[in-house]
Structure 1
Amino acid sequence: MKTDFKTIDENHKKNELFSTKNAKSRILILAIFTCCIFINGQSGPDFTILADKAFQKLYQNPDDCISYSQSLLISDQNTEHKIILQNIISQAYAMKGDYVQSVNASAQKDDTEKDRDISYFMQLFGEYNLADQYQNLDLYNQSQKIISSLLSDTKLLKNESPKSKITIAKLYQLQAINSAIIRNYSTAFDNLNKSDQYIDFHNEENRMIGFENKIFRASYLMRQNKYNDAKILLDQVIINLEKESHQPFLSALAYENLSRYYFLTENYKTAIDKLEKGLLEIENLPYNNLKSKIYESLAKTYFALHNDTKYHEYNKLYLEIKSKLDSNQKEGIRYIVKLVETYQNNNLEFQRQNQSKKLWLLIVVLISSITSLIVYFLIEKRRNKDLKKQVYFFEKQKKRERPIPIATYHKEKQEKIIIDRTAEKDSNKISKEKEIEILQKLNDWEQSDRYLNKSMSLSTLSAQMGVNTKYLSEVINNSKGKNFNGYINELRINHIAHLLKTDPAFLHYKVSYLAEFSGFSSHSAFTTVFKSVTGMSPNSYIQEITKNKMS
């Protein structure tokens, strides 16, 4: 059975998002740990040793890391030491997928300590940690704004101290992740190269950042169909990790990425072997995000081998752990919004400095009302519904690889907008500029295939884009001509219809699998929506495609 390499590669994009959540978490601790050595005159070798041990436990077992770090917190009264330890605990929870506890741990503050006793660099890390938390929760737009602000800080970029270099290396790494999210791989590679320039490889912290960058680079190469280059890089990472002290998380992450090479080249048995090696590294450890990806990859690989027993076994494990992670992520999003509001209400001193303006803008994006005119998009009534839907659908399939730019789209609709806007002078309507911004974000999101996620909802998409839910809904209704459910369902149908047309292997799949693959909760729902979008049932569409290929 042939496999659509490009499609499978896109379906694995979540692996990179997972790498983002966990790899960045650990490097944050590295930067903070390095920072404490240089900026606090009271930081002695004893705490350096203890913090290093806590950091090592982060890679080996998050639960042990949390217990050990909490025991240090009890006796250590140094403000900066407490910040370092709290961030280690926070990232340990993030690696477990417990985002509520992660946000809570990073937000803890001893009221007896005064903000003025905390150095500028540690305050800077407070904002950096907020960006890190946003990335843990897939809120990439919010995270990117903070990271861009930090990278524009000349005070930081001009500092040649080791603590600054390791921080800049991590910031460029995060910028690479943000670029890859929107498929700007050239910029992603450029940022990874800049990150490498600040790494000296003379200590464990720098070596770990180097490993992370190589894994990210291999993942992006894979998404560009440069499979052999990615494999060479991952093989090298695994060999080098074997020379290090036991690193179960990094080893499992490398094996999971390497398995994708073998899957994409249809060497399914070797792919399973790599996945099992990765799972063996963390099977008894609470790295739940990584386990989720390994379970999912095992299920897909066994499905390709037509091993229904193994497929259902691992798919069940994947669905169980993914459900818990999704639920915790939604709670984490709500919690971090409250956290940001608390920061603003308490008027922390760091917010009163120049950096406060950036955080305030972020809060405004999350909680303020957006005013302007509502754009109406008129939908032409159609007769002979099913026949016209079929003609329209096949025409749209031909143009699917050539999306209309938002600016062009808006220009073409300008006359209709002006007509509909004559009676819409109310200041509560959405502005033209904001509409274009939201439409551009929707266009980027449509290219990411994240709409295939079963848990995707209007509120989740709103949080990811940093857009008010009400106005996001209005823009979708007006510009797409349908509500959110209709919009995302049509994206899913267009996606699976394109695969059926371009990859012969999908013509042999059961309709129930096509429904699950494209993000629908049931066979019946998929069939109903498929007919409403294309004008024909899935089986009829498959027959039509098969007939055309034979003729």
Structure 2
Amino acid sequence: MRKDISFRYCIVLLFLLLQGFVTIGQDQLDSLSKYSHDELFDRAFETRSTLYLEYLENQKLTQEEKKQLYLWFYYLTAANGKLDITLNYLQKLDSISALTKDPKNRFYAKLGLAEIYYKKSDYEKSKLAFESAEQYIRDFPEGITRILASAEYSYFYYLSGNFDVFNTEMENAIKSLNALKSDKLEEYDRRYLENAKATIAINLACGYIMKEDFDQAAEELKLVDQIYEENFKGDVNTNSVHTILVKGKYHFFKKEFEKAIPFFQEVIKINESQEFQEDAYMSEVFLGIIYYQLGDYNSSLSHLETAIKSPMVVADYVKYEMESYRYAYLASKQLNDTDKSLMYSGLYMEQDEQLNDNERSNFINSFINNLEVGKLQKDLSAKNNTNFLLRYILFGLAVLIAGLGIILFYQFKENKKNKQKIADYLDQLNSDKKKKEDSSSAKKEAIVQENNAIAQTQEMDEKTVRILDKLEEFEEGDLFVDSKMSLAYLASYLGTNTITLSKIINTYKEMNFNDYINGLRIRYIIEKIKNEPKFEQYKISYLAEVSGFSSHSIFSKAFKKSTGVTPSQFLDYLKDEPVGQ
């Protein structure tokens, strides 16, 4: 009834999305004893219910049936966020697969364990499980299942943010699938092949989206739509629902928020009748962020609180739980709900503390480095076991030591250069402070002198002087840390238009509007760090938010552009060489 069923379920496990077709609704169960073992597995497959599996677990099963049981428990419990229960069944699957010398189910068990440990932030165990899975890929027969296993193994490149490698692996997988001759396959196998192509194309679209290569992402989504139109029209399954979610992410990351909303709403609607909790959870978080960006703070908070009440731990590069708290705090702040604002800001800070980026980074770098070492060891073992091996090792060590020496020397020079940049920047800040202590008339004279070349050809009128005065007042406040600050907003605040304001900033501040605002924000947060020691202990993501930046990366780029160094280097400098108040 199910030809080589463990192979058929490879696509279920691909990228930890756990493919499986779903029926609408679930029958009332009066008695399970009337079903055979095969029928009970089929019912669990169709209804996504563990009820049938729990009954089966108490029956006398063969070793193969037990493996199938544990695999299906993994599929159903992981999809509903029951991590400890999932872990238990994966360990059982691993043990029985080792006992029966079943490498393919050991691969599934190891990759499943890597996923669950990653979700539980136990990165060391996740690394070990992931690394131990690679050896079993070669035990899959050549063809679709081996291609899928290799592609699934590459998912951790996505989790690490190494999207270039991830995309390359997915592109190679699709090429390999396209090279298979589908015209010679039976109907079931042909559909299996097409579904495999769609699954990899969806995840390749995710990789392109994260690289902001939206044209390529659109091409992959177009391919998925074509495959489904020709082969699976009307089917509702994990693959099709995830495709809808990815289409929403596509528009979200393009900042086409209005276009993204219907896709996320559709996923939530499907979940109401067919249990796609993880996809619905992610959709709620995305909608919360979108409505915040659109200024609909009540809708934003409503979606975020729905997500917070039913949290799911998702193995993804995006930290959804953290983002739900962050935007719930921002939305409640905009709604002047002090109690919720304090509560969600506290929860966000707790998440920020728990997210040990260094630990996560070490996990990622460690397993990638181990992969490279493993490949090198395979190459070396293929050579004759002679003294050449020892020479290679000694030569490699010599090169490594020399390389480390060069790196340390370069780092020493770079640190010295960075310290000078920071000192110069701080001196400039102090110099600017002294200038601002002059009288109002002296300020105007300074402006005229600094722009003498311009004044010779363009007389500074009263309106310009008035706007420059207002800009001085604006710079002394903190209105610029509002994340919604824009040229239009500031022009309205100053009582002028965007064209005039842009021209004045370009002429008299000698920079464009974005650089002007970012420079004020950087100066603001540096003053905070210098004058309030607690700011030295905050995460960079929090410093970015406090100073009005929408993301960690934009803040870091602006900080380096203004100071010449990264925020981390600046904080390290202050710890080593404290600046006087």
Partner deviation per Cα, 1:408-459 (whole Å, 9 max, x = no partner): xxxxxxxxxxxxxxxxxxxxxxxxxxxxxxxxxxxxxxxxxxxx9xxxxxxx
Q: CA deviation at 1:107?
A: 2.0
Question: Does residue 120 of the first structure (1) align with residue 142 of the second (2)?
Answer: yes
Partner of 2:358: 327
Answer whether contact 2:288 2:324 (CA < 8 A) is retained: no
Question: Does residue 54 of the first structure (1) align with residue 54 of the second (2)?
Answer: no
One-letter amino acid of the structure 2 residue matched with residue 85 of structure 1:
A
Partner deviation per Cα, 1:186-210 (whole Å, 9 max, x = no partner): 3212212223444555999x71122
Partner deviation per Cα, 1:494-530 (whole Å, 9 max, x = no partner): 4952898xxxxxxxxxx999x966638999xx9xx97
- What is the rounded CA distance, in whole Å, between the counterparts of 2:288 and 2:547 in structure 1? 30
Answer whether contact 2:221 2:247 (CA < 8 A) is retained: yes
Partner deviation per Cα, 1:198-249 (whole Å, 9 max, x = no partner): 4555999x7112222211211222344433332222222111111113x432
Partner deviation per Cα, 1:316-366 (whole Å, 9 max, x = no partner): 3223323433233212123212331343144299x99xxxxxxxxxxxxxx
Q: CA deviation at 1:170?
A: 2.5
Identity %: 15
- What is the rounded CA distance, in whole Å, between the counterparts of 2:181 and 2:261 in structure 1? 37
Q: CA deviation at 1:126?
A: 5.1
Please give the residue correspondences for 1:230-245 in structure 2 after superposition, counting only pairs within 5 Å.
230-245=260-275
Question: Does residue 64 of the first structure (1) align with residue 95 of the second (2)?
Answer: no
C-alpha RMSD of the superposition:
5.3
- What is the rounded CA distance, in whole Å, between the counterparts of 2:315 and 2:16 in structure 1? 17
- What is the rounded CA distance, in whole Å, between the counterparts of 1:249 and 1:221 in structure 2? 20
One-letter amino acid of the structure 2 residue matched with residue 66 of structure 1:
L
Partner deviation per Cα, 1:254-307 (whole Å, 9 max, x = no partner): 111122232122121221111111111227x68893312211221222233344
Q: CA deviation at 1:311?
A: 3.0
* Alpha-carbon spacing, 1:191–1:100, altered in 2? closer, same or farther (3 Å): farther
Matched residue SS, 1:519: helix
Partner of 1:146: 169
One-letter amino acid of the structure 2 residue matched with residue 68 of structure 1:
Y
Normalising to structure 1: TM-score of the pair? 0.54
Question: Does residue 209 of the first structure (1) align with residue 223 of the second (2)?
Answer: no
- What is the rounded CA distance, in whole Å, between the counterparts of 2:561 and 2:173 in structure 1? 48
Partner deviation per Cα, 1:17-63 (whole Å, 9 max, x = no partner): xxxxxxx99642457999xx9xxxx9967644542331111111222
Partner deviation per Cα, 1:368-417 (whole Å, 9 max, x = no partner): 98x9xx9xxxxxx99x97899x99xxx9xxxxxxxxxxxxxxxxxxxxxx
One-letter amino acid of the structure 1 residue matched with residue 358 of structure 2:
S
Within the candidate set 134, 137, 144, 2:160 is matched to: 137
Matched residue SS, 1:152: helix
One-letter amino acid of the structure 2 residue matched with residue 334 of structure 1:
N
- What is the rounded CA distance, in whole Å, between the counterparts of 2:134 and 2:255 in structure 1? 50
Partner deviation per Cα, 1:76-110 (whole Å, 9 max, x = no partner): 32111111122222222333344433232122259
Within the candidate set 208, 220, 224, 1:191 is matched to: 220
Gaps of 5+ in 2: 1-10, 22-40, 42-61, 384-398, 411-420, 436-446, 452-482, 484-510, 522-531, 549-554, 565-581
Answer whether contact 2:209 2:253 (CA < 8 A) is retained: no
Partner of 1:266: 295
- What is the rounded CA distance, in whole Å, between the counterparts of 2:78 and 2:346 in structure 1? 28
Partner of 1:218: 248
* Alpha-carbon spacing, 1:63–1:194, altered in 2? closer, same or farther (3 Å): farther
Question: Does residue 280 of the first structure (1) align with residue 309 of the second (2)?
Answer: yes
- What is the rounded CA distance, in whole Å, between the counterparts of 1:532 and 1:170 in structure 2? 41
**Larger RCO of the pair (alpha carbons < 8 Å, separation 6+):** 1
- What is the rounded CA distance, in whole Å, between the counterparts of 1:94 and 1:25 in structure 2? 19
Within the candidate set 344, 348, 352, 2:375 is matched to: 344
Partner of 1:540: none
* Alpha-carbon spacing, 1:33–1:520, altered in 2? closer, same or farther (3 Å): closer
Within the candidate set 538, 544, 548, 1:519 is matched to: 544
Please give the residue correspondences for 1:77-88 in structure 2 after superposition, counting only pairs within 5 Å.
77=100, 78-88=102-112
Partner of 1:290: 320
Question: Does residue 106 of the first structure (1) align with residue 137 of the second (2)?
Answer: no
Q: CA deviation at 1:252?
A: 1.3
* Alpha-carbon spacing, 1:309–1:179, altered in 2? closer, same or farther (3 Å): same
- What is the rounded CA distance, in whole Å, between the counterparts of 1:321 and 1:385 in structure 2? 37
Partner of 2:551: none
Matched residue SS, 1:153: helix
* Alpha-carbon spacing, 1:191–1:498, altered in 2? closer, same or farther (3 Å): farther
Matched residue SS, 1:282: coil
Within the candidate set 348, 361, 366, 1:318 is matched to: 348
Q: CA deviation at 1:251?
A: 2.2
Answer whether contact 2:177 2:193 (CA < 8 A) is retained: no
Within the candidate set 179, 187, 195, 2:208 is matched to: 179
Q: CA deviation at 1:185?
A: 1.9
Partner of 1:229: 259
Matched residue SS, 1:28: helix
* Alpha-carbon spacing, 1:209–1:103, altered in 2? closer, same or farther (3 Å): farther
Matched residue SS, 2:212: coil
Q: CA deviation at 1:154?
A: 5.5
Gaps of 5+ in 1: 1-23, 353-366, 375-380, 396-451, 453-489, 501-510, 536-551
Normalising to structure 2: TM-score of the pair? 0.52
Matched residue SS, 2:310: helix
- What is the rounded CA distance, in whole Å, between the counterparts of 1:149 and 1:216 in structure 2? 21
Partner of 1:252: 281
Question: Does residue 75 of the first structure (1) align with residue 106 of the second (2)?
Answer: no
- What is the rounded CA distance, in whole Å, between the counterparts of 2:208 and 2:332 in structure 1? 32
- What is the rounded CA distance, in whole Å, between the counterparts of 1:66 and 1:74 in structure 2? 12
Question: Does residue 164 of the first structure (1) align with residue 193 of the second (2)?
Answer: yes
Matched residue SS, 2:154: helix
- What is the rounded CA distance, in whole Å, between the counterparts of 1:157 and 1:243 in structure 2? 37
Please give the residue correspondences for 1:14-33 in structure 2 after superposition, counting only pairs within 5 Å.
27-29=14-16
* Alpha-carbon spacing, 1:138–1:83, altered in 2? closer, same or farther (3 Å): same
Matched residue SS, 2:161: coil
